[in-house]
Structure 1
């Protein structure tokens, strides 16, 4: 089948799967199976032999498109919108040769889908940070995507100078059907020179350009008194 495993597909996009079959005189049919549809047990698309070469039957027009070219042995099933439930699920095709008897020969191939999820939100736990220079502050940044996002923390002062403070952060990763969630915790003691600057959480992955969110820093020197 084409594309081979893993078949990379962006979420909500359509994707076409092609099954190549040798259309000999005894070719009878080619069927597609979708694991998200009742575990891949019933056929979601059937191509069968007729006088013109091939005909298409039993395809849900709301979910799929189908086409075939029996002269090339190409059978295509297009998923109109790939959702999160397709991640790590298979599309399989099975070709039947014979006359519909117990001696018929079957050949199968399948591909497994990898659903790619772009970074759409970079969520920071604080809307602003107010602290004195004697305390460590912990801030969380959460990003969901697939592949997993790489997160970095930077401070940008009023003159545009950048300081990377990622070394004082740690990350945890959780995985579910909707994507991979990376949670980064930054623990940092801000300096008086950070007052008026921005703390930025920046994230990217292999399919998304860098995305970020930022919070204002209000840092003051604590008066100790006498």
Structure 2
């Protein structure tokens, strides 16, 4: 059995942290290894606590969750970031995406969505709450109306095929079988794409696939 996912939790409300911890630790594969009451405290804890995933509130004193996420990404490149917030806000949502967050969960449905979001994050899969798909589409339409032409494609057609299948959650073996190429070739194409686009993982490739219309949000 795999060890549980180690979670660093940051929220400035003690009762909220207590409730979230109960939700998470009711699952055998999730464990809270540190609690912070603001973003700055989360950064301090991350230096001493070996966490796999940081679950951050957005609006906190001293340092917001968004500010903390920027610092944590630099400090701990392998740390996954998930936002848990009361704000059903497109502005915060898009900022979270820019920071490389794996997911955005509303506190009002945390008991329903948070566990799934944590597991998705550890699979390098994005977790979007209902309504964000509409926001992504509206954002695209507004760009078109402003006359912002899509940039020239920076990747080849074959690489685009790889990106689409990766974003759909296909494994390397499945992609190789679908495209009639070897698994090593799939891995090489994926590495080339990540380098060309300046990206790190499946989550960022999925966001790219959504932005460029390779998959539906």
TM-score, normalised by the number of residues in structure 1: 0.23
Whichever structure has more helix as a proportion of its residues is 2
Bigger share in strand = 1
Q: Relative CO higher for 1 or 2, CA cutoff 8 Å, sep ≥ 6?
A: 1
**Which is higher, the Rg of structure 1 or of structure 2?**
1
TM (norm. structure 2) is 0.24
